[in-house]
Each structure stands twice: as C-alpha cells, then as structure tokens.
Chains A and B, each alone.
Chain A
Amino acid sequence: AQKVTQTQTSISVVEKTTVTMDCVYETRDSSYFLFWYKQTASGEIVFLIRQDSYKKENATVGHYSLNFQKPKSSIGLIITATQIEDSAVYFCAMREDMNYNQGKLIFGQGTKLSIKP
C-alpha cells in the first residue's frame, strides 16, 4: 500500500540559511508523482514543487529544489536563502499513476518549519 513518511516533526533555522526536509515513500508502482505542499498559518495549502518518477533531473522552482533519490524512495525538499515567510507546515505527498491505479494523493504527516530572524 502507499505510504508517505515525514519523520521530522519540526525544524527551526535562522533566516537566510538553507534547510532540508526529509520524506520517504512506499509504492509498488513504477510510475508515480511526488509533491511538496506548504500550509500557511491561515490554513491555505499551496502547491510548491513536484517530481515525476521517470525524470532523473531534480526539480527546481525558485528557491525550492528537490533531492530525489529513487533507489532510497526518498524525496527531500531543500529551501535555500530562507525567509521569515517560509515559516509554515510542509507536506510531502505521493500520487500513483492513474493510468494504472486510482491516482489518489496520499500525504505525509507534515513538518513544521520555523524561521528565526
């Protein structure tokens, strides 16, 4: 069965530094999609970045990048030059290829990131 695990409950870093959040997943599918979402203090869930399993190159969007290690079933989120407004809860999620499965999105438990001035 699908499973997504985020072991870091909370992380605190100083502004302008780099932070990495871990995520491991379980799937029997050869084709799947991995996502990172951010939930702000207001409760809004915002899509940040994704990695398609067939792509070897790590995805990058703005100051977000991914460390995709397929043999380890790992998809880490890296935020460089962190800002106060990056403080939020970050969710890792996986969606199996809907051509072969039902394509539902399963979330990890979330990591709370606090950026200190």
Chain B
Amino acid sequence: DAGVTQTPRHEVAEKGQTIILKCEPVSGHNDLFWYRQTKIQGLELLSYFRSKSLMEDGGAFKDRFKAEMLNSSFSTLKIQPTEPKDSAVYLCASSLTGLGDSAETLYFGSGTRLTVL
C-alpha cells in the first residue's frame, strides 16, 4: 500500500509569493493533518480534517494559511503571501478512525521543505 505522498519535496519561494503544497493520504484513511516543523517551535498543528470536514484550522495560522480537502484522497495547503518566517518543513499525515490496532495512528509523509527568500 502506498503511504502518504507529499509534493514537492522542496520549494523555494520569494517573499510575497503564493505557494501550494500537496498531499495524498493513505488510501482509505479519513483523517488528514497538516503540521509545520521548525527547530524552535517543533511540530505545530496547522489543520485537521475528518472525513473532509475541517476540525481544526490552526488558530494562529489562519491568517495566511489555508488547507483544503478537495476530495478524500487529495489535500492542499496554500500559503499566501509567503514570508521568510514561513521557512520550515511542512508535513502531512493521515489516519483511520474507528476500531482496530491501526486506527487512530497517524502516518506521515516525507514532508515539503519550504524556503522563503
């Protein structure tokens, strides 16, 4: 089975640009998460979808960050406009809700490393 797929692996943007990061969750998973990872802040939750419904919109990240789940197998994270402080690794994860040993466990993609100049 394919795991979580994120594209691109690396992205370089100029300040003020709009960038879109993409994620395909594990087939059949109904929860999808976007996290940002930096050395200072660690892993921060940006957005969380359950069965395509937005459950968490990341509070402090609402302003320029928008995650969408266009269908159950594809999600995007748009950052508009980008700022140098957005430089980080953006991680997508998915999980299955319900019963069973593998339910509730998040599986992560390889991440997108974003550099904003």
Contacts and interface: CB of A to CB of B under 8 A. Distances in A.
A95 B104 contact: yes
A91 B35 CA distance: 14
A98 B48 contact: no
Nearest to A37: B108
Given A43-B111, A44-B108, A44-B110, A103 B42 contact: no
Contacts of B48: 102-104
A104 B33 contact: yes
A74 interface: no
A96 to B, nearest CB: 10
B75 to A, nearest CB: 16
A62 to B, nearest CB: 15
A105 B50 CA distance: 13
Interface residues of B, number: 21
Decide if the interface of chain A is mainly helix, strand, loop or mixed: strand
Contact of B43 (A33, A43, A46, A107): A107
Interface string B79-105: 000000000010101000100000011
30 contacts: A33-B104, A35-B106, A37-B108, A43-B111, A44-B110, A45-B108, A46-B108, A47-B107, A47-B108, A50-B105, A95-B104, A95-B106, A98-B50, A98-B97, A98-B104, A102-B48, A102-B56, A103-B31, A103-B50, A103-B97, A103-B104, A104-B48, A104-B55, A104-B56, A105-B33, A105-B45, A105-B93, A106-B45, A107-B43, A110-B42
Interface of A: 33, 35, 37, 43-47, 50, 91, 93, 95, 98, 102-107, 109-110
